Amino acid sequence: MENYLLDTDFIKIQETLDKSGSIIITTHTNPDGDAIGASLAMFLYLSKRGFMVHVVIPDLYPEFLAWMPGAKEIMIFEQHPLECKQLVKEADLIICVDFNNLKRLNELGDEFRRSDAAKILIDHHLNPSDEFSLKISFNKISSTSELIYDFICESGYKSLIDKHIAECLYTGIATDTGSFSYSCNYVKTYLITAELFRLGIDGEHIHRLIYDTYSESRLRLLGYAVSGGLRVLPGYHAAYIVLTKEDLERFNYQVGDTEGVVNYALSIRDINLAALFMERDGQVKVSFRSKGSFSVDRLAREHFGGGGHRNASGANCNESLDVTISRFLDLLPSFGEDLIHVYND
């Protein structure tokens, strides 16, 4: 068995799964390629095993993921609350992938909290909450999609991984590693990716579907974000991008349009901490990215009520845009050396 699975509830999860009549797979708000890839791979796998299974998620996924096998069957709580509530009522098992706290599901999370169904977590974020009955939580891995690959293989069903499931898993691995540029210093990630190619996926085509399908307004929004929207603070080794509600309206913002934008602020030499502040629906969505040892998981958790990974985290803040940005700026002096020497570990 993959060693890390031995330290989790893997065996108990198999037993729970075998007893389940109606299963929901769910993931976090503002879902990305790994969230949707891991959910759909699990959905296709369990469907092939004959389980009654639905994917129910809080809000819409980006259009650039709509081609994914099974995507059309995803139920979106924001669009169909009554149908989703009914599915939650009928479910006796809820499989939670690619997030670690039901808070991240907003109102759908409340529905799950009220449900008596067993809740299983399969995830690669730090610091999972204790709301889950059983857990596979492991963070030294590229993505939740890679975890799902191991999960299926260790369950004895490697032969069920077909081209469609491989496309979902590859999308999750490729997007969560920034097309194999971070969180991917693991031999295993490449061996698994090679297996997925053996199953016939077309990696170049998938790349085009995800990254070469921008609308003109999305590209212009990116252009604005990295020019007018960008502030650089070389003294603190930090940079941040601000997108107000008006900016987003001006560029006809659609779900997913700011995916990856924060990384441009981090691409500047000697900038080790980057942030994106985005004013949305009365909240401020914050994304943090860092290089090396500086932990933005800690920054997001301790000061913004969010979380994530060491080098990529996020939060949703209820204060105004100005107050949220000030909170960030006020913290910078306290980081001192931590933001200078980030490659000492």
Confirm if 121 and 132 have CB atoms less than 8 A apart.
Answer: yes
> Which is it for strands 93-97 and 22-26: parallel, antiparallel or unpaired?
parallel
Confirm if 303 and 313 have CB atoms less than 8 A apart.
Answer: no
Q: Is the dihedral of CA 84, 167, 121, 90 positive or negative?
A: positive
Other residues' Cβ atoms within 10 Å of the Cβ of residue 163: 12
* Interacting residues with ligand 5GP between 205 and 264 (CB under 6 A): none
Partner whose footprint covers residue 325, from ligand 5GP, Mn ion, none (CB < 5 to 8 Å by kind): none
Confirm if 118 and 132 have CB atoms less than 8 A apart.
Answer: no
Residues whose CB falls within 8 Å of the CB of residue 308, separated by 6 or more in sequence, listed in order:
125, 126, 288, 296, 297, 300, 314
Pick 295 or 324: Cβ nearer Mn ion? 295
CB of 250 to Mn ion, least distance (A): 30
Place of tokens 């889950």: 132
DSSP state of 332: H
The piece of 181-189, 203-211, 239-247, 303-311 that touches ligand 5GP (CB under 6 A) is 303-311
Q: Which of 102, 89, 110, 106 is nearest to 132 (CA)?
A: 102
Instruction: Print the binding letters for residues 269-288 with ligand 5GP: x by CB under 6 A, - otherwise.
Output: ------------------x-
The piece of 92-100, 222-230, 253-261, 320-328 that touches Mn ion (CB under 5 A) is 92-100
The H-or-E segment that residue 96 falls in is strand 93-97
Instruction: Print the binding letters for residues 316-335 with ligand 5GP: x by CB under 6 A, - otherwise.
Output: x-------------------
The piece of 71-79, 106-114, 195-203, 307-315 that touches ligand 5GP (CB under 6 A) is 307-315
CB of 165 to ligand 5GP, least distance (A): 22
Instruction: Print the binding letters for residues 50-89 with ligand 5GP: x by CB under 6 A, - otherwise.
Output: ----------------------------------------
CB of 143 to ligand 5GP, least distance (A): 10
Pull the structure tokens for residue 159: 């032969």
DSSP state of 323: H
Question: Around 30, how many Cα atoms within 13 Å sit in the side-chain half-sphere?
Answer: 18
CB of 324 to ligand 5GP, least distance (A): 13
CB of 300 to ligand 5GP, least distance (A): 7
* Interacting residues with Mn ion between 226 and 245 (CB under 5 A): none
Binding site for ligand 5GP (CB under 6 A): 28, 30, 99, 101, 104, 125, 287, 306-309, 312-316
Binding site for Mn ion (CB under 5 A): 34, 98, 143-144, 176
